[in-house]
Amino acid sequence: MTNWYAVGVGFVVMTVVGVVGLAIPGLGQLTAGLVGGFVAGYLAAGGAGRGAWHGLLAGSLGGIVVAVVFGAAVGLLGTIGLGPFGPLLGGSVFFVVLLVALVMGLESALAGALGGWIAEE
């Protein structure tokens, strides 16, 4: 059974660390995915498998939200500047960011497995 509270808290932590990571060099999005995934896995407890699942959900949710927001923003701004080619640019950005979301989900799953394992110990 999925603990959506753990996924939500992991997502919020990932978002906050990601925003702070934009302002502090060296912190970045990799750290955000790791910290958020770890928190989701730790809160879900139940071992490494359960922690990995919850970390994956938190990381993927964050990545998909970022992909949709960036894709829509670039498509809208591109329409203003590039006319009919703007939505094409927005769609391209959406798919690139979606690939980044996949990577973010995988790293969050690894951190979530560690968090779930530590919570069980």
Q: Does residue 37 register a pLDDT over 90? A: yes
3-class SS letters over the chain? CCCHHHHHHHHHHHHHHHHHHHHCCCCHHHHHHHHHHHHHHHHHCCCHHHHHHHHHHHHHHHHHHHHHHHHHHHHHHHHHHHHHHHHHHHHHHHHHHHHHHHHHHHHHHHHHHHHHHHHHC
Report the pLDDT averaged over residues 43-67. 89
Q: How far is CA 27 from CA 14, 22, 35, 64, 109, in A?
A: 12, 8, 11, 21, 19
pLDDT value at residue 21: 80
Least confident of 43-47, 76-80, 108-112: 76-80
pLDDT in tens, 70-104: 777 777 777 777 777 777 777 777 777 778 778 88
Q: How confident is the model at residue 56 (pLDDT cuts 50, 70, 90)?
A: very high
Q: Which amino acid is at 104?
A: M
Straight-line distance from the first to the last Cα atom of the chain, in angstroms, rounded to the nearest whole number? 20
Q: Does residue 42 register a pLDDT over 80? A: yes
The pTM of the full predicted model, rounded to 2 decimals, is 0.80
